[in-house]
Each structure stands twice: as C-alpha cells, then as structure tokens.
Amino acid sequence: MPIETLERVQPSPRTVQKHYPNYKVIVLNDDFNTFEHVAKTLMKYIPGMTETRAWELTNQVHYEGLAIVWVGPQEQAELYHAQLKRADLTMAPLEPA
C-alpha cells in the first residue's frame, strides 16, 4: 500500500502595493516676467488650467513669492517643470508633495 505524504504549503509573501509619491511644481516670483507671460505660460503647459486659475496663481506668485501650480506623478511633474522653465519662468526644484 503506497504511503501518501502531505506537503506543507507555505503561504506566499504578501505583495504590498505602494503608491508613487506626488511632486509639486512650484513657480517663483522674479523681477523680469510679466503677469501676462506667467498666466499665459501656465495656461499653455498645465493641463486643465483655466484663465481664472492662471491669474490667481500669477497673483499668488507675485504677492507671496511662489505658487504651487500643479501636483501629481513625478514623470508628469518633471515634464511640466521643464516646459515652464524653458518658457523662462523661475522655478523651484521639484519636491515631494
């Protein structure tokens, strides 16, 4: 009579999903960009940016010294940061949100 052996099955390790951190795109105040240039640049490069919101952020940059203009995944943040910088806006380094 054959003898059956039971094999003990080890539970598989749990996979823990971690979310990628979001990053902030921050525009800084400067003495050479006009209000109009900042607002138009934000509308051109930041998805979903309305004219009203662009002017609110432009005023925040002027009166408070900076504004967080977009928050999201790192790869997109890097793209928007580079586009705004290429348009001569003064940018803070990307930082985790």
Q: Which two tokens stand for residue 35?
A: 């209000």
CA–CA dist 42, 85 (Å, integer): 11
- pTM of full prediction above 0.75: yes
Q: Would you write out the chain's pLDDT as a tens digit for each of its 97 residues? A: 666 666 776 766 788 787 889 999 999 999 999 999 999 999 999 999 999 999 999 999 999 999 999 999 999 999 999 999 999 999 999 999 9
Cβ neighbours of residue 82 closer than 8 Å, sequence gap 6 or more: none
Q: HSE-up of 93 (CA within 13 Å, CB side)?
A: 2
CA–CA dist 61, 8 (Å, integer): 64
Alpha helices per DSSP H over 35-92: 35-45, 51-64, 74-86
Q: Which domains does the chain have, with CATH numbers?
A: 22-96 (3.30.1390.10)
